[in-house]
Amino acid sequence: MKKIKWGIIGLGNIAKSFSEGFFDVDNSKLLSVSSLNKSKIDYFKNRFSIDKDYIFPQYDDLLNCTDIDIVYITLPNNLHYEWVEKCIEKNKKILIEKPAFMKLENALSVKKKINEKNLFFSEGYMYRYNPQIKKAVEIIQSGEIGIAKRMESSFCENILTKRKFIFFEKARKIDKNSRLFNPKLGGGCILDLGCYPTSISILIASLTDGINHEKFTLNNIKKKINSDQIEIAAEAEINFDGGFTSKIKSSFKETDKSSTIIYCTLGQLIINSTWKGETELIKVKNGKKELIINKFKKNIYSYQIDNISQSILKKNNKPLFPGFNIDETVINTNILEKWRNA
């Protein structure tokens, strides 16, 4: 079997987690890595058996390697556009970690260029490839629980406080130069966490006839901003053209609440822990709850790697549905930009 050969630029925690997925797929190989950090290079070399000829201390050198089929970019948010552009110049297929871009104009520019060159592009929303999400899509498309009318989705993690005792919490020390709290690096809960609820809202809206998921308005916007003008909590309501509504929420100050509820005319779908490896899909119909799926059979990132590699082998320029494509990146970036600037 032919294997798609991957290269990774930037070797942070997300790259480590993602790369574990290569152990559970047959159509892909992690061929090359690039980082400015020697200790990270050494870790990847030993853990994933990277040949020394495919280890590059400079990102440009990896892009110049003709043996690589696709480049996964896991650099800080503010560097995404620059390195996506460089990949396009080298005619490389691209997986970019979320959020792909901080500005709508960048997303539109990239869409134009990759369409002109017919290059593969996807944004790194791993959850889209999970069996639970695919099954949820199948149930909605079948009409089994009627027509999807509205939904609620949230991603909240308490990173501002830590529990000292059972009923007492203490504020954490915050590094204002970290990517989460530095405006220049794309900090704030909207870009870091809010991009997930917006992205699944686009997917579910697209499944309903008569709904234009490309057109929307944002209403009922609420935000809590710290002294550095970084969002630490945010809510909004997306009203898609045609009548589908999604209430979205993200926060750095609440206990973990990461769920999605889809309300249909004949029932509901509940996706608990929507974004992580403990995802649980529950169907509610006629007042009865039924657990559909609650476990993964393999590494959660392997589903994404397998889908994208299959797509490339089939010479597609976007992942197989319901993978995240460039059109959705443009819509999602538009929603996030309006939410942040409101």
Question: Does the pLDDT of residue 174 top 70, yes or no?
Answer: no
Contact in structure between 241 and 218 (CB atoms under 8 Å): no
Q: Among candidates 129, 137, 163, which has minimal Cα distance to 256?
A: 163
Which two structure tokens, joined as six digits, stand for 226? 């710290």
Which pLDDT belongs to residue 165? Answer: 46
Tell me how far CA of residue 62 lies from CA of 19, 58, 78, 146, in angstroms: 17, 7, 20, 49
Q: Would you say 29 and 5 are in contact if contact means Cβ atoms under 8 Å apart? A: yes
pLDDT in tens, 273-314: 999 877 899 999 999 999 998 777 789 999 999 999 999 999
- Interatomic CA distance for residues 213 and 282, integer angstroms: 25
Q: For residues 29 and 10, what is the distance between their CA atoms, to the nearest angstrom?
A: 17
Mean pLDDT score, 157-175: 62
Percent of the chain with pLDDT over 90: 84
Torsion of CA 56, 61, 64, 69, to 10 degrees: 30
Domains and CATH numbers, the chain: 4-126 (3.40.50.720), 131-295 (3.30.360.10)
* pLDDT tens digits for range 87-128: 999 999 999 999 999 999 999 999 999 999 999 999 999 999
Q: Could you read off the pLDDT of 177-198 as tens digits, one per residue?
A: 677 878 888 899 999 999 999 9
Global pTM?
0.94
CA separation for the pair 27, 173 (Å, rounded):
44
Q: Model confidence over 313-335: pLDDT tens digits?
A: 999 999 999 999 999 999 999 99
The pLDDT value given to residue 252: 93
Cβ atoms of residues 261 and 248 within 8 Å:
no
Give the pLDDT confidence of 20-46 residue by residue, as tens digits. 999 999 999 999 999 999 999 999 999
10 Å Cβ neighbour count for 225? 12
